[in-house]
Amino acid sequence: MLRNYKFIIAYDGTRFFGWERQPGRDTIQGKLESVLTRLQGSPVEIIGAGRTDAGVHARAMAANAQLDVDLSPEEIRDYMNRYLPDAIAVREVKEAAPRFHARYKALGKTYRYVCFDGPVKPVFDRKYVTLLDYRPDVERMQQAAAYLQGEHDFASFCGNPRMKKSTVRLVDSITVVRQRDRIVFTFHGTGFLQNMVRILVGTLLEVGRGTRQPEDMPALLEARDRRLAGPTAPPEGLCLMKVDY
Amino acid sequence: MLRNYKFIIAYDGTRFFGWERQPGRDTIQGKLESVLTRLQGSPVEIIGAGRTDAGVHARAMAANAQLDVDLSPEEIRDYMNRYLPDAIAVREVKEAAPRFHARYKALGKTYRYVCFDGPVKPVFDRKYVTLLDYRPDVERMQQAAAYLQGEHDFASFCGNPRMKKSTVRLVDSITVVRQRDRIVFTFHGTGFLQNMVRILVGTLLEVGRGTRQPEDMPALLEARDRRLAGPTAPPEGLCLMKVDY
């Protein structure tokens, strides 16, 4: 019998070409689908809550797939973990309502972005932080973040130049906290555009560095022009922390 | 002028053939010496507090080297970090007394060994834990550890079959703590024999699994026979945390 399952997945995105399946390339969706296809004996499609970019990590990506297998959710989880690469782990599998759709039903997402700006590079979590060679001013970034919080047209922060649909999104919380030599940005919102978190971080870092003013944010949102925002921050510091339903 | 410097070094030992310099192989000592030799323009020897095995990590290995360079300790540190691989970081450099010797002057060492025994493999720190496919009983391991604590002849736990010198060591503290799906062993002692921490862990895990009794420890110490102890636990879970002077 075909059942709908919800998956919670953690991955170290370092060596993957992002979430989305691509022929001939290692992607998270591709790896998950090939393990599920092997389990079921026929093609399986897995739907993620979002598509993380190449090199981006996740602690709790949510996904769903329709499966016809004679196994308990725990057995499905264990089977997948046995055959997945070490950098991907299925944390949880449970049966979901037939109409549960990981992307359409997502109510919110939490992303975390970590920068390191100390004198001595980190060794053990070096693949999960973005190294800076300057020390940004956290207070200035907090001021800028306050302007960016809320419902806005984030077209200036959208990495897809051919985006046809609405670029209005609600980002209800952006926090910037220093933890010794680490700066931790946390974003929560109902949805994010392509590269949006990384462009927000790239822009906030320019504010933190002093080359841009916190008060410039309203005009930058207003402009709806990607060229006016900061660079797309590197993927390694970004991690999808949670998807709300 | 030749000065003696003390170094505190962190490394992810995964891809290295241990601390000790070996021709044609990547080792921590080898990498450090080649950077220091390049800095000074003539051969430099660096002396570590101990020799970690292939695959073992360190958060704070201590070392010393005699250098004749016109740089401040911070400049030496920054130079080294610029040229060392990402998996090695010099956390601290300071001038030491001329007679300071990282090995001979070491008063104690702290090692940590982490096992993971949960149903879902860890993703982000997967290179720093040893995976178990069973769930050992922590209380039994704590009972066994209590027998092993103290000053003993640890010949049964020595990986060097040709060890000529004394195998008596003082291990004043062995703790075993469960943290959810992780078991953390912490050892503090004045000195450790080759592979000793890993053989202690391998033996404690057998106690935790039930194939050996806590009360067997005194006889095992007494026997002074490596063949009677447990296997050498894998290197990836082991980390040198601190060296006391």
CATH of the domain at B209: 3.30.70.660
Exposed e or buried b for every residue in A114-150, given b needs 16+ CB within 10 A? bbbbeebbbbbeebbbbebeeebebebbbbbbebbbe
Residue A12 binned pLDDT confidence (cut-offs 50, 70, 90): very high
Q: For A136-164, what is the mean pLDDT? A: 96
- Asked if the structure places residue B101 within a domain, the reply is no
pLDDT score of A162: 87
| Average pLDDT of chain B, as a whole number | 97
B103 falls within a domain:
no
Q: Which residue of A has its CA nearest to B128?
A: A124
Contacts of A179 (CB under 8 A, 6+ apart): none
Residue A217 predicted with pLDDT over 90:
yes
Judgement on whether residues B116 and B82 belong to the same structural domain of the protein: no
Give me the mean pLDDT over the A52-79 stretch: 97
Q: Are residues B91 and B183 in the same domain?
A: no
Q: Domain boundary at A96, A122, A151, which?
A: A96
What phi and psi values does residue A83 have, to the nearest 5 degrees? Answer: -105, -10
Averaged pLDDT for residues B135-142:
98
Q: Are strands B130-131 and B108-116 parallel, antiparallel or unpaired?
A: parallel
For residues A134 and A25, state if they share a domain.
no
Count of domains observed in chain A: 2
Per-residue pLDDT, B75: 98
Last residue of a domain, one of A96, A120, A135: A96
Q: Is B123 an 8 Å CB contact of chain A?
A: yes
Among candidate residues B173, B177, B175, B200, the one with its CA nearest the CA of residue B188: B173
pLDDT in tens, B196-231: 999 999 999 999 999 999 999 999 999 999 999 999
Is the pLDDT score of A161 beyond 90? no
Q: How confident is the model at residue A137 (pLDDT cuts 50, 70, 90)?
A: very high
pLDDT of residue A163 exceeding 90, the answer is no
Chain A residues with CB inside 8 Å of B119's CB?
Answer: 74, 77-78
Q: What is the end-to-end Cα distance of chain A in Å, rounded?
A: 25
pLDDT band with cut points at 50, 70 and 90 for residue B161: confident
Q: B108-131 in b/e burial notation, b at 16+ Cβ within 10 A?
A: bbbbbbbbbbeebbbbbeebbbbe
Is pLDDT above 90 for B162? no
What's the CATH code of the domain at A65?
A: 3.30.70.580
> Over 90: is that where the pLDDT of A29 sits?
yes
Q: Are residues B57 and B127 in the same domain?
A: no
Question: Are A90 and B126 an interchain contact pair (Cβ–Cβ within 8 Å)?
Answer: no
A80 pLDDT higher than 90: yes
**Same domain, residue pair B121 and B229:** yes
Please check the confidence at residue B164 and state whether its pLDDT lies above 90: no
Q: What would the two tokens of residue A149 be?
A: 């919080």
Strand partners, A90: A9
pLDDT band, residue A188 (cuts 50/70/90): very high
A171 part of a folded domain: yes
DSSP sequence for A10-59: EE--TTS--SS--TTS--HHHHHHHHHHHHHTS---EEESS-PPTT-EEE
- Name the CA dihedral angle for A190, A195, A201, A207, rounded to a multiple of 10 degrees: -110
Query: What is chain A's Cα-based Rg?
Result: 19
Please answer yes or no on whether B81 and A120 come within 8 Å at the CB atom.
Answer: yes
Chain B within 8 Å of A207 (Cβ-Cβ)?
no
Looking at the domain assignment, is residue A102 inside a domain? no
Task: Report CA dihedral (B106, B110, B111, B112) to the nearest 10 degrees.
Answer: -160
Cβ separation of A124 and B12 shorter than 8 Å?
Answer: yes
A196: pLDDT confidence band, cut at 50, 70 and 90?
very high
Name residue, tokens 């921490």: B197
Is B245 annotated among the ligand-binding residues? no
Same-domain check for residues B183 and B77:
no
Residue A164 has pLDDT above 90, yes or no: no
Q: How many CB atoms lie within 10 A of CB B50?
A: 21
Residue A228 lies in a domain: yes
Q: Which of residues 130-189 of B touch A (CB under 8 A)?
A: none
Has residue A103 been placed in a domain? no
- Catalytic residue annotation of A: 53
| B81 half-sphere exposure, CB direction, 13 A CA radius | 22
Long-range contacts at B122-125 (CB < 8 A, ≥ 24 apart): B122/A89, B122/B181, B123/A10, B123/A11, B123/A12, B123/A86, B123/A87, B123/A88, B123/A89, B124/A10, B124/A12, B124/A57, B124/A59, B124/A125, B124/A128, B125/A124
Q: Is B11 on the interface with A (CB under 8 A)?
A: yes
- Among the listed residues B102, B107, B113, the one whose alpha carbon sits nearest the alpha carbon of residue B197: B113
- Is pLDDT at B163 greater than 90 in this prediction? no
CB distance A197 to A187 below 8 Å? yes
Q: Are A19 and A28 in contact (CB under 8 A)?
A: yes
Distance in angstroms (rounded) separating the CA atoms of residues B236 and B238: 6
Gap from A10 CA to chain B (nearest CA, Å): 7
Q: Are residues A124 and A220 in the same domain?
A: yes
Whether B128 and B238 share a structural domain: yes
- Residue B114 — pLDDT band, cuts 50, 70, 90? very high
A&B contacts, CB < 8 Å: 56
Query: Are residues A11 and B88, on separate chains, in Cβ contact within 8 Å?
Result: no
ipTM exceeding the 0.95 mark: no
Rounded to an integer, the average pLDDT of A198-204 is 98
- In the prediction, which pLDDT does B186 show? 98
How far is B96 from A134, CA to CA, in rounded Å? Answer: 30
Q: How far is A128 from chain B (nearest CA, A)?
A: 8
Verify whether the Cβ–Cβ distance B57 to A124 is below 8 Å: yes
Task: Give a yes or no: residue B102 inside a domain.
Answer: no
State the residue range of the domain holding A177: 108-244
Quote the pLDDT of residue B200. 98
In terms of residues, how long is chain A? 245
The distance from CA A211 to its chain's CA centroid, rounded to whole angstroms, is 27
Domain boundary among B71, B96, B121: B96
Closest CA to A244 of A76, A54, A111: A111
Token couple for B160? 């060097």
Closest CA to B56 of B92, B104, B20: B20
Which tens digits make up the pLDDT trace of B9-56? 999 999 999 999 999 999 999 999 999 999 999 999 999 999 999 999
Q: A224 and A118 in one domain?
A: yes
Rounded to whole angstroms, the Cα distance separating B47 from B106 reads 12
| B240 shares its domain with B219 | yes
A128 and A212 together in one domain:
yes
Closest CA to A181 of A141, A145, A133: A133
Average pLDDT score, chain A: 97
- B31 part of a folded domain: yes
Residues B168-177, mean pLDDT to the nearest whole number: 97
Q: Which residue of B has its CA nearest to A11?
A: B123
* Residues B80 and B196 occupy one common structural domain: no
